[in-house]
Structure 1
Amino acid sequence: MKTTRHSEYKKLESVYIKPAINAFISDVHLENQWQKLNYLSRPDFEKALAEYSLFQKYLLDNNIKVEHFPFNQNVQIDSIYCRDASIATDFGMIICNMGKGGRINEPQSQLEVYKENNIPILGIIEAPGTLEGGDVAWLDDKTLAVGHTYRTNLEGINQLKLLLEPKGIEVVIAELPHYKGKNDVFHLMSILSPVDKDLAVVYSPLMPVKFRNDLLRRGFELIEVPDEEFESMGCNVLAVAPRKCIMVKGNPKTQKLLEQAGCEVTLYKGEDISIKGGGGPTCLTRPLDRSS
């Protein structure tokens, strides 16, 4: 079977995750860290474990090979949102440099795991460049979109281009707005989730006009998340296959729009692993291989 890492929607074959037990560790860890990491409120440890167990079961039930990032004493509870510390490409992993200070050790922790498992490394984003995986999304197998945000700066984007453009990859920049400022969780994938080659879930009020027009030019139909479902992560949708996706429970209007577009939608209760920390299903996963 031929696979690719240049997709957000093809059949997911393998994925890395950081189980809640390995990231949250205990109620003591949560109590010590949730406020300084800008969580909405403190996650409940036991509820988080239960939610995560069901989230992982959904992946396993879809015959996805699931690998775990282990406990690492050098990282904090945000490491549960494991997409952000690296980017998967067919040429090897790109190790990020986090724009959020409390997450600065996460890329190194993932690099160690990749090396232990003989996963090739294409490059490492170095300071003063910053780049987070939540700010990148594959539009097709030759086009990677990247958000210019408070977490991903122009130097990081330039380093990303130097790694990928010589290999024939177009890097498209989306200039994102200030929104709630430097301390908020606001990535490109906060407003964009491709779920098929020609279908994407978006929140247009925060989307750059140039980038939105580019999506339309590329043939994407846009599912518009209503205002009242943006903060509850209606736009954060993980495709495990074309038009087969998972999203946080509590976004019925977006769910209905997805289903009307022919999508199969599975919901998970994510109050303690997603809502409180601002990280939906795309954030909880570091997809590797998808069927090409």
Structure 2
Amino acid sequence: PGKEFLTVGQPTPWPPHEDSWRAWRMMEKPDLDELVEHHENLVDAFKAEGVEVIIRKPDPWDPPYTVKSIYCDDVAHAAVYGHVILRMYDSIRKGEELPTFQTLAEHGIPVVGMIFGDGMVEGGPCGWLDEKHAIIEVHYPRGNTKEPGVMRANEWGQNQYANIIKAQDPEVDIRMGPGYGTRKGTIHYSMVDRHTTVGEAKYYDKYLTDWMKAEMDWKFIKPPDDLVSIDTRGFAKGPDCGVVLEPGKIITSDQYPKATKWFESVGIEVVEVHIDSLIRPRNSGSIHCLCGSLSRDPEPKSY
């Protein structure tokens, strides 16, 4: 977090140039010192677990405005090797591509493609299930998702990303969701172990879960009802599974001790970190949104 948060409350650089917190997609007036403290908490927690952390270059614009750039998982995602710079749907996210590209280049991480033209895709619902299976979906179906131009843009962006992956490894099986029909529910965000997700299969597309079970013998761990909420689309969410550090070990917010206790009861090791100003309900993303994976260990072969 940087000086971009000091711009909140001024008219936005994009139309209709409103100045409310909501126009800036904020739930409250941001406290930059607190945001930085919580960011450092997360960095320290990852480093304590042996994770190398790269900090993205700051907002280069005048005035700075990219207050959602804290959610690094949205702007770029991995291909088989190297990264792809994505093209996000929202005006508040435009401009994150440049510092992201520069940061990747400075650290020797190849950028192997960029989404161009009218194509749109962003990272939240794009995920690798293992080295040969991936999913790509519209981030969040919205009121205009059904409009023909938006629909074509979403599908064009998804196809561009999928084609980059396929060019590197034709054996990767990719499932795509255009934003109409049943949502995948960011299954990869809920993973806690190899081919294992916290959630109920009935809330996902049946053909998707049939494929997952047939291809990967996928398992779903049903959470207790009191740790689950039903969103406006009737989709069950929760508990927040954070980021997987290794099979059976996650790092997540310390906001939900009841969820932590349940995770531990089913054999999942939990590392907690205090970051509540960066995530819901005080902000608009999750701990997983805050972290974009750049490199990972090979998938375990023992099971």
**Pairwise same-fold verdict (TM > 0.5):** yes
Contact preservation (8 Å) 2:78, 2:84: yes
In the alignment, does 2:282 pair up with 1:285?
Answer: no
TM-score (norm 2): 0.76
Q: How does 1:12-91 map to 2 (within 5 A)?
A: 20=1, 22=2, 25=3, 28-32=6-10, 34-74=21-61, 76-91=66-81
Q: Which amino acid aligns with 2:128?
A: W
Q: Which amino acid aligns with 2:7?
A: H
1:97 aligns with one of 87, 97, 112: 87
Contact preservation (8 Å) 1:143, 1:170: yes
Q: Determine which structure has the larger strand proportion and give its number.
A: 1
Q: Which amino acid aligns with 1:172?
A: R
Contact preservation (8 Å) 1:201, 1:237: no
> CA offsets per residue over residues 171-203 of structure 1, 9 Å max, x none?
112455689xxxxxx995388422221311336
In the alignment, does 2:274 pair up with 1:269?
Answer: yes
Contact preservation (8 Å) 1:200, 1:222: yes
Q: Distance between the aligned counterparts of 2:41 and 2:201, measured in 1?
A: 31
**Greater C-alpha radius of gyration:** 2
Q: Who is 2:118 aligned against?
A: 128
How many residues end up aligned between the 2 structures? 264
Over the aligned positions, Cα root-mean-square deviation in angstroms equals 2.9
Q: Distance between the aligned counterparts of 1:211 and 1:257, measured in 2?
A: 27
SS at structure 2 position matched to 1:246: strand
Q: Distance between the aligned counterparts of 1:40 and 1:164, measured in 2?
A: 36
Contact preservation (8 Å) 1:191, 1:236: no
Q: Which has the higher contact order (CA 8 A, sep 6+)?
A: 1
In the alignment, does 2:91 pair up with 1:107?
Answer: no
SS at structure 2 position matched to 1:135: coil
SS at structure 2 position matched to 1:172: strand
Shift of 1:247: 1.6
TM-score (norm 1): 0.78
Relative to structure 2, which stretch is displaced further, 25-34 or 255-264?
Answer: 25-34
Q: Distance between the aligned counterparts of 1:212 and 1:227, measured in 2?
A: 24
Q: Who is 2:186 aligned against?
A: 189
Q: Which amino acid aligns with 1:261?
A: V
1:171 aligns with one of 168, 171, 174: 174
Shift of 1:253: 4.8
Q: Determine which structure has the larger helix proportion and give its number.
A: 1
Q: Who is 2:156 aligned against?
A: 155
